Amino acid sequence: MSANVDRQSAWTLLTQYTMSESLLKHALAVEAAMRAYAVRFGEDPDKWGIVGLIHDFDYERYPDAADHPRVGAAILAQAGYPEDIVHAVLAHGEHTGVPRISQMDKTLFAVDELCGFIMAATLVRPGKKVSELPVSSVKKRLKDKAFARSVNRDEIYKGAAELGVDLDEHIRFVIAAMTEVAGPLGLAGE
C-alpha cells in the first residue's frame, strides 16, 4: 500500500464525509469483519480493514445509486488509494455492474449487508449483546421481510455463495468479528 494509505488517513477521510453515528458504526463493523476474513484467507488485515472502513464513506453525501460508490471511488483514486481498493469499493455496489474479481471484492460484498443486519438483530434482543446473538435468530429475522427492510437479503445470500461459505458459518464468523469491536459498535450490552 502507498505510504499515505493507512488506517488513520482512512478514518480521517471517513469522518470528513460521514457524520452519522450509525454509518460510522457500520464502517467499524465492516472493518472488523474484513480484518477477520483477511486473517482467515491469509491476506493483509490492515489493507482489508481499510477497505471495510471506507467502503461507504461517500454514502451520506451521495446516497443516490447513480453516485454511490462511484463518487467515492473517484475520490479514493485521486487520493492515491491502490487500484484494488478502489475496485473493491466500486464492486461492493451491485448496481454498479463492476464485477467482483478478487477475494477482497467478494468478501466486502459478502459482509456489507450482513453487518448491518446483525447490528439490527442485536439491537432488538434483550441485553443488546452481539456476542449472545444466535445464528438461528439472524436466520429467523432474515425471513421476516418487515424486519430491517432496507437490508437486501438477496445480497446476503449471494455474498455467502460467492465467498463459497455456508450461510450459517458466515453469519457465525461475522458475529464473532463484530464481537471483537462490540464496545465501539454499542453492542456490548446494556
Per-residue pLDDT of 79-129, as tens digits, reads: 999 999 999 999 998 899 999 999 999 999 999 999 999 999 999 999 999
112 within some domain:
yes
Burial class (CB in 10 A: 0-12, 13-18, 19+), 109: buried
DSSP 155: H
Residue 190 has pLDDT above 80, yes or no: no
Q: What domain range includes position 20? A: 7-183
C-alpha cell at 73: 471511488
Rounded Cα distance between 121 and 106, Å, is: 23
pLDDT score recorded for residue 5: 84
On whether residue 48 sits in a domain, the answer given is yes
Residue 189 lies in a domain: no
Per-residue confidence (pLDDT) for residue 143, from 0 to 100: 95
C-alpha cell, 188: 456490548
Q: Which tens digit of pLDDT belongs to each residue from 1-41? A: 554 689 999 999 999 999 999 999 999 999 999 999 999 99
CATH number, domain containing residue 55: 1.10.3210
pLDDT at 87: 97
Q: For the chain, where are the alpha helices, taking DSSP H only?
A: 7-17, 21-41, 45-54, 70-78, 83-91, 103-123, 135-143, 153-163, 167-179, 182-185
pLDDT band for position 142 (50/70/90)?
very high
Q: Is residue 188 one of the residues assigned to a domain?
A: no
Number of domains in the chain: 1
102/83 Cα distance (integer angstroms): 12
The pTM of this model reads 0.96
